Amino acid sequence: MVPELLKRALQVTSDEYGEYQLIPSEAMEQGRVIKQLQSKRIDIAVFAPNEKREKLAIPIRIPVTGSLLSYRICLIQADSQDKFNHIYSLEDLRSSKLKIGLHQNWPDTEIMEANGLKLWKAKKYSLLFDLLAAGRFDCFSRGANEVVKEFYTHGYKGLVIENSLIIYYPLPLYYFVNQDKPELAERISKGLAILQNNDEYEAMFSSNFGKTLRFLNMHNRTIVELNNPLLSESTKIKMQADKIYYDELIRKVAIQP
């Protein structure tokens, strides 16, 4: 959904802003992407916001994946479901002493530490699947938009999707734009708003994530809510204002036949 949503946002604003050309960069980890954006080597990137990142680039405060990144679901070892069956609150999660695996540079790491959870930190995303399979930690926390694809890719290592829990904290996935391109940021923002108003955003979300949300049984999971102290005040206000819209979008798509 990330590239196709951007493409449509640029298409529906062509009459006002003119033609465009999208040239994809090579694949990069988040830290390098942010440096490339800051140094003006790329114009648009996608990652989760925090106050520091929002000072380095222009955030477009419409979640790219319908706020699904906020809903964290664990990849676990196949024989460890019983460790999660009686977690109903943040206090339960803390007292369980379950260890959560994350990349050391992700915002999630600071968020979970701030909420008193026990972490295992790694320097490379790709290593976390093998470290989980080796039992170094109990849960690799993934966004609801990520976990199913990763399960199909890494399940042969003895990994499965935990079936009862959602760890929730407000963490949208935003397009960020090079600070030297404010008109481009304005164009993308207008385009996304048009797609939301004409229901194309919802249709795209349903097409991309409908099967995933039903597979995850999203509406029957226990939600443990965490605080996210990293959000800027502007992002926090926007997330709170839009929460009902995105929650309803997820619920509606998750229960579709």
Q: How many domains is the chain built from?
A: 2
Q: How confident is the model at residue 2 (pLDDT cuts 50, 70, 90)?
A: confident
Q: What is the pTM of this model?
A: 0.86
Give domain status of residue 97, yes or no: yes
- Residue 4: strand, helix, or coil: helix
Report the alpha-carbon distance of residue 43 to residue 36 in Å, rounded. Answer: 9
Q: How confident is the model at residue 196 (pLDDT cuts 50, 70, 90)?
A: very high
DSSP string, 186-237: HHHHHHHHHHHHTTHHHHHHHHHHHHHHHHTTGGGSEEEE---TTS-HHHHH
Report the alpha-carbon distance of residue 125 to residue 137 in Å, rounded. Answer: 14
Report the alpha-carbon distance of residue 154 to residue 127 in Å, rounded. Answer: 11
Judge if 151 and 182 occupy the same domain: no
Characterize 158-179 residue by residue with b for buried, 16 or more Cβ atoms within 10 angstroms of its Cβ, and e for exposed: ebebbebbbbbbbbbbbbbbbe
Query: Which pLDDT score, from 0 to 100, does residue 213 have?
Result: 93
Query: Which pLDDT score, from 0 to 100, does residue 14 have?
Result: 96
pLDDT digits (tens, 9 = 90+) for 141-171: 999 999 999 999 999 999 999 999 999 999 9
Give domain status of residue 101, yes or no: yes
Q: Which domain holds residue 47?
A: 2-67+171-220+231-254
pLDDT digits (tens, 9 = 90+) for 99-152: 999 999 888 999 999 999 999 999 999 999 999 999 999 999 999 999 999 999
Judge if 76 and 121 occupy the same domain: yes
Residue 31 pLDDT exceeds 80? no
CATH code of the domain in which 138 resides: 3.40.190.10
Judge if 82 and 23 occupy the same domain: no
Domain boundary, last residue among 168, 191, 207: 168
Residue 1 pLDDT exceeds 80? no
Give domain status of residue 226, yes or no: no
Mutual angle of helices 200-215 and 182-197, in 10-degree steps:
70
Query: Which pLDDT score, from 0 to 100, does residue 255 have?
Result: 86
Judge if 84 and 158 occupy the same domain: yes
Give domain status of residue 247, yes or no: yes
